[in-house]
Amino acid sequence: MVNVLVCIKRVPDSSGEVLLTDDAQSVDGRHVGFTISDHENCAVEQAIQLATATGGEATVATLGPAEAAEQLRGALALGCTAATHVVADSTGFGPADVARELAAVVRAHEAEGRSHDLILLGNDAADSGDFQVGIRLSYLLDRPVVTGIGTIEADGSAISATCDGPTGQEVYELPLPAVVTMLEGGVEPRYPTVSGRMKAKKIVIEEREPSAAPAGAKRIKLKVPPPVPSQVQVLGEGSSAADAVVDLFVSLGVTR
């Protein structure tokens, strides 16, 4: 039985135009909506698969504003069975602060007799992209950590985790308890079902206050680089442009 804790972060959807808040401290998501990163979607999927396969529990946790309950519900609808919400404005929390709060959640659950054998996080958050919360958390909990993992298999009290290394697929074997950060691509996130959404509504989300005041993210400000003026010349639309394209190739001297 492997009990998994998966950590997700509510972030503004950045697939379209990105606007900043007036204080230039964060991305303004009010008009574009919020989501979690693709890496975290895969971490949620992996957590549910492992818990289901071993008869364990998949718990989801976040540190974020009240509205982040939406992202927790999303993970519950997919098959996580418990959720913990550290309610705070995540803007003021640096990666060391977040790691400390997540460690506090794990310790509090342990004190209540709920252990999280495996903690899954994204490799990097979609907004702050710090690449480090998982590693910091591993030191706070004195657990081994591997990063950038695509797939995990559980085998009793150990896991084997695979990632795409510089020369090939690297395999790591870790005893539990452990921390793993995930990259998208290894597992295919599922879609929520109607019954999953109904179940999720009934689950009571555990709410907590931060265990300490945050030290901060050392952010001075954010800025959006100005767009470069476009000089593109459109050769045409659809397959009818093929002649113009080939004429261009000829004039560039790249045809054989």
Partner 1 sequence: MILVLIETEDGQVAEVSLESLTFARGLSAAGGGVPIDVVAVGALPDAARAQLSSYAVRDVYLADDDSFTAYSGGAWASAVQAAQAKTSAVVVMAAGTNRGCEVLAHVAARAGVAMAANVIGFQGLAPFVVERQVVGGQVIEEMVLDERPAVFTVAGHAVEASPAAAPGAAAMQALAVSLSPADLATRAVRTVPREGGEGSGLKSARVVVGAGRGAGGPDGFGPCLELAELLGGSLGVSRVVTSLGWRPHHEQVGQTGTRISPELYIPCGISGAIQHWAGCSSSKVIVAVNTDAEAPMVTKATYAVIGDMHEVVPAINERLKSR
Ligand X SMILES: Nc1ncnc2c1ncn2[C@@H]1O[C@H](COP(=O)(O)O)[C@@H](O)[C@H]1O
Q: What is the contact surface with ligand X in residues (CB under 6 A)?
A: 7-9, 37, 39-40, 62-64, 90, 95, 98, 121-122, 124-125, 128-134
String marking each residue 159-178 x if it binds partner 1 according to CB under 8 A: -x---xxxxxxxxxxxx---
User: What is the footprint of partner 1 within residues 120-139 (CB under 8 A)?
Assistant: 123-124, 126-132, 135-136, 139
Query: 3-state DSSP call for residue 252?
Result: helix
Position 81, amino acid: T
Position 253, amino acid: G
Position 20, amino acid: L
In 65-156, which ranges are E strands?
82-87, 118-122, 145-155
Shortest Å, Cβ 167 to partner 1: 6
User: What is the footprint of partner 1 within residues 183-242 (CB under 8 A)?
Assistant: 183-185, 217-225, 227-228, 230-242
Shortest Å, Cβ 229 to ligand X: 32
What count of residues does the chain have? 256
Residue 34 or 131: the one with the smaller Cβ distance to ligand X is: 131
Residue 238 gets the label, from left (phi > 0), alpha (psi -120 to 50) or beta, of left
Residue 63 or 146: the one with the smaller Cβ distance to ligand X is: 63
Residue 77 or 217: the one with the smaller Cβ distance to ligand X is: 217
Shortest Å, Cβ 219 to ligand X: 12
Residue 69 CA neighbour count, 13 Å, CB half: 11
Instruction: Report the C-alpha gap between 148 and 122 in whole angstroms.
Output: 8
How many residues belong to the site for partner 1 (CB under 8 A)?
A: 74
Shortest Å, Cβ 227 to ligand X: 26
Residue 238's binding partner among ligand X, partner 1, none (Cβ under 5 to 8 angstroms by kind) is partner 1
Beta-strand pair 11-12/34-35: antiparallel
Instruction: Report the C-alpha gap between 133 and 244 in whole angstroms.
Output: 51
